[in-house]
Structure 1
Amino acid sequence: MALQSPPPAIPFEWTRANTQHFIELLKEHPSVWNIKSKQYKMRNVRSASLETIKSDLSNFANCTLRVEDITKKLHTLKTQFNREMSAIKASQKSGAGTDDIYTPKLWCFDELRFLADGEPRPSMSNLDEGETTTAQIDVVATLPSQEDAVESPDISLPPTPSLTSACSVATSRTPSPLPSSSSGGTSKKRKQIDEIDNMMALAINKLLSLPSPNNREPLLDISKFVDTELKNMSEMQRKLAKKLICDVLHMGDMGDLTREHSVVRVAGSDTFMA
């Protein structure tokens, strides 16, 4: 008697119903998508969650499903959600009215909002790409080389009389005048420079508020030195320097700085690494 082969497996299709059920399963298993979760870093937990989702969804759709299908669909949903979020933020940044804010076209956008909880928050908003040519700064620990290492000059300035005077240096600076081209473009550039100046003032005040075992005079000297050096730079160089300084201050505030950190230029590009 000839043996009969089993019926072929029914291929899985990502219908709207299957996708909706998959989204509900993702909410129950944050270890699969939430990189902030401790369980996300535990490979055995994440693998077990993927198997559970695969089994549940296979039974729900009465189809054969692989773990690879789960991970690919998750990547697709995250990409689509992030693209819609970027479009919303871009329309808000452009100053559009409430009625002109971008409306997501992805049918499951609202159901995917929980994915935003698993995205890392940026340390600082990047400068407008239209105003500067610098690439995004990636913070990495690297040993300084002989060619790329930047040596910090010894700072020896007379102590400033008071903390108030040092703060006034940082907060009372006026933006450099810009050449007049069009009223809209000039206003946008002036607003950006004002925002950078305010950011720099906050950074210097943050330096001044750091605790010191002895006194705060050395910090006042550093703030005055930085302010003097920035005044001697061109407008573009001053903007780039402020961006780097603020990134380093944020790393220090988060406790991420080490003795091996330095600011170097990546060979063959305009990218800096701290």
Structure 2
Amino acid sequence: MASWSKDKVLEFIDLYRSHESLWKIKSKEYSNRLIEERCYEKLIDFVKDFEPQANKELVLKKINNLRGNFRKELKKVEGFKLYGAGTDEVYHSKLWYFESLLFLKDQEIPRSACSSLGLHNDYTRDTTDSNSTFLQEEEQDSQVG
């Protein structure tokens, strides 16, 4: 298995960027499987130049690794903006290809979070209802007295 040089990774990212149907959710061609397959074939052909055993699985794995690392760094950068500090302090990504993947920034849609609080909704609702009833009764008592 050949190693990916920095230059090859950057070329791969540029090629991936050029095929919007693979990553741009709002692209007309995003859900066209025929176009998607053609684009993956181009990526596979590129990788085969230095890794003859390349296939779609390897290409998908590489894309997922790159995007996963980018997502983690983006989360840090965005988190630092929210909770970080003043204008002097800015988190700079340590990921060397972070800048090359910034075209994906608006494509990273946060997943909806699963909350364990949802398991206790009935309890919370009951407590809230009884508290609001209690508060209403107190208000009525104070108005009467």
Common fold: TM-score over 0.5: yes
TM-score normalised per structure 1: 0.39
Q: Which residue of 1 aligns with 2:70?
A: 81
**How far did residue 23 of structure 1 move?**
0.5
Deviations 1:53-110 (A, max 9, x none): 1112323x36331111110111111111111111112111114123322110000111
Q: Which is greater in Rg?
A: 1
Residue from 29, 40, 45 that aligns with 2:30: 40
Moved more, 71-80 or 92-101: 92-101
Q: Deviations over 1:166-197 (max 9, x none)?
A: xxxxxxxxxxxxxxxxxxxxxxxxxxxxxxxx
Map of 2:125 onto structure 1? none
More helix by share: 2
- Following TM superposition, the consecutive aligned residue runs of length 4 or more in structure 1 with deviations greater than 4 angstroms are 132-135
Residue matched to 2:136: none
Which one of 38, 45, 55 corresponds to residue 55 of structure 1? 45
Listed one character per residue, the Cα deviations across residues 225-273 of structure 1 (whole Å, up to 9, x for unaligned) are xxxx9xx59xxxxxxxxxxxxxxxxxxxxxxxxxxxxxxxxxxxxxxxx
1:98 paired residue among 73, 76, 87:
87
Q: What is the alpha-carbon distance in structure 2 between the residues aligned to residue 90 and residue 62 of structure 1?
A: 37
Provide structure 2 residue ranges, at least 5 long, that are not aligned to the other structure. 123-128, 134-145
Taking only the aligned residue pairs, the percentage that are identical comes to: 31
Aligned to 2:9: 19
Change (3 A) 1:91 1:45: same
Structure 1 unmatched runs, 5+: 1-10, 127-131, 136-147, 149-228, 234-274
Are the equivalent residues in 2 in contact too, given 1:34–1:117 (CA < 8 A)?
no
Code of the aligned partner of 1:115: L
Instruction: Give, as a single letter, the amino acid of the residue that structure 1 aligns with 2:22.
Output: V
Aligned residues: 121
What is the root-mean-square deviation in Å for CA atoms of aligned residues? 2.9
Q: For each residue in 1:191-236, what CA deviation from the matched residue of structure 2 results, as whole angstroms up to 9, or x when unmatched?
A: xxxxxxxxxxxxxxxxxxxxxxxxxxxxxxxxxxxxxx9xx59xxx
